[in-house]
Structure 1
Amino acid sequence: MFASSNDLLETIKQAAYEAGTLLREGYTQKGRIAFEQKGASDFVSYYDTTAENIIIDCISSAFPDIAFLGEESGLTPTDSEYTVIIDPLDGTSNFLHGVPHFSVSIAVTKGDELVIGVVYQPLLDEMLWASRGSGAFLNDTPLATPEPRPLTEMLVSTCLPYHAKGDCTTAISQLAALMPQVAGIRSPGSAALEIAYTSLGRFDAFWSQGAALDFWDIAAGIVIAREAGCTVTDLSGQENPAQWDSLLAAHPERHGQLLVCLRS
């Protein structure tokens, strides 16, 4: 289908940049953007759908036989073993409220395996990306595994359930278990970006179980975090579960400690 996986990676990076350019321009319209509500705490705007169309058009023009799974367009199956997983605007609520924390998230699976992840923050012009076995990068800079901090110094990110979307009881229980152990917990509102930030050490870990995250919310971040040396599993410790009903990304030296704490 293509000469190398690098061809697909470079096309995906370009697609993320083009979609991000639209979002950066749209962000200046904050407070005046029309949107619809898909479900509890789940919004969609012109920018979500248009950004996804930009991504699909960019990639399919170079790889016409590839399959897509988009948050807005659903599954477009083909006979290809590669599927592009798209969240065109991860952090729509932030975007609509003028909070400058959102991202374009694109991943690729080959069969059942995650092989490419790209997360682009257009306001900062920061592109985090990784290809399985080739390391993780911030723009053109290769990333090394961040040094592990003690639990008492860790800044941890999570997604929380709101407005009946997810399991509030589980989220509150895990917060209560973790809050006395760490230096801080944040829920900024773009899971793809926050998982990817563990590759930079901006967050020492990311976890979620109570929030009802979809695969497109987490897929690209998983590839980037793993290629930067983080351990990523669900909260049962499975590296590749059939369904990602929970997630923990952390330095290998802290992953087990956090698992024990969250399970309690």
Structure 2
Amino acid sequence: MEDSITEYEHKLLESAKVAAQEAGVILKEGYYSSRRVDFERKGVSDFVTFYDRAAEKCIIKRIRGLFPEIAFMGEESGSTAGNMSDYTVIIDPIDGTNNFIHGVPHFSVSIAVTKGSEILLGLVYQPLLNEMLWAARGSGAYINEKRLRLQSARPLSEMIVSTCLPYHGKGDCLTSLNHLKKLMPIVAGIRSPGSAALEIAYTSIERFDAFWSQGAELDFWDIAAGILIAREAGCKVTDLNGDPSPSQWKSLLSAHPERHEELLSYLG
């Protein structure tokens, strides 16, 4: 990896990788359990399991043990202030909890680190495939230890794009339906697998040619790591107004820079 982050940040990245792998062990245990995974409702179509909480505690314990001064923002535990540090660790212990509960093998551990308002580090780990997509700002993006670089852009007619669709009680269904109506006739396929962190990160390895979202409700922990990974691989990531750094991410498009504006013309 190119040396564009400090030694402190490099150690923080390595600690986050280990934490994600340890959390992945917990998730694999739950996923391969012979019994149905129990869950609680946090809200409408918003579920949490023992494994969400256990994975998040594992991640915080691992990183805090080496960096006690750092702040945390976790989906399950909320925000914890740091001590004399500008760094915050952003954690989604299971991005795709609904898939996890139903035994669908598409979910991930997502960890990002911000410094002030800047996303500095990001990783998305798929424990069932043992694939870790990760990036450090200015140092490129990687899958495990392989550097990622975009190839030439496919035409829209050959592209498979991904999205998060709204569902029962969450999001703007009409907006998503309008987007689908515009894109379905011009692309080769549209997928909504159910782990936004993973799908944004997948644009960096071109498993998906693009990812967009507006109708669904996505939180910062869903998208932060994926945004950095996609950008470091060469994707252009903005909201659907074309803003690369909105104060709040109400929408998102990650795509090859040669196709980004073209897609925005259909989605914006």
Q: TM-score, normalised by structure 2?
A: 0.96
User: Are 1:63 and 2:57 matched, yes or no?
Assistant: no
> How many residues end up aligned between the 2 structures?
262
User: Are 1:141 and 2:127 matched, yes or no?
Assistant: no
The equivalent residue for 1:112 is: 117
Report the alpha carbon displacement of residue 58 of structure 1 after superposing the two structures with TM: 0.4
Query: What do the CA deviations read for 1:129-168 (whole angstroms, capped 9, x no partner)?
Result: 0000000000011111132100000000000001020000
Query: What do the CA deviations read for 1:203-238 (whole angstroms, capped 9, x no partner)?
Result: 000000000000000000001000000000000111
For the 8 Å contact 1:208–1:246, the answer to whether it is kept is yes
Distance in structure 2 (CA, Å) of the matches to 1:241 and 1:80: 24
Distance in structure 1 (CA, Å) of the matches to 2:65 and 2:231: 29
Q: CA 1:167/1:30 → structure 2, altered by over 3 Å: closer, same or farther? A: farther
Q: TM-score, normalised by structure 1?
A: 0.97
User: Are 1:200 and 2:193 matched, yes or no?
Assistant: no
**What code does the residue aligned with 2:70 have?**
I
For the 8 Å contact 1:145–1:228, the answer to whether it is kept is yes
The equivalent residue for 2:242 is: 237
Query: What do the CA deviations read for 1:112-137 (whole angstroms, capped 9, x no partner)?
Result: 00011100000000000000000000
Q: CA 1:25/1:250 → structure 2, altered by over 3 Å: closer, same or farther? A: same
Bigger CA drift: 32-41 or 192-201? 32-41
1:14-163 correspondence runs (5 A): 14-29=18-33, 31-78=35-82, 79-163=84-168
Distance in structure 1 (CA, Å) of the matches to 2:59 and 2:85: 18
Report the alpha carbon displacement of residue 4 of structure 1 after superposing the two structures with TM: 2.4
Q: CA 1:64/1:235 → structure 2, altered by over 3 Å: closer, same or farther? A: same
Secondary structure of the structure 2 residue equivalent to 1:106: strand
Distance in structure 1 (CA, Å) of the matches to 2:59 and 2:108: 13
User: Are 1:168 and 2:173 matched, yes or no?
Assistant: yes
1:248 paired residue among 231, 244, 253: 253
Distance in structure 1 (CA, Å) of the matches to 2:152 and 2:30: 37
Extract unaligned runs of 5+ from structure 2. Answer: 1-5
Distance in structure 1 (CA, Å) of the matches to 2:175 and 2:157: 22
Q: Over aligned residue pairs, what C-alpha RMSD do you find?
A: 1.0
The equivalent residue for 1:220 is: 225
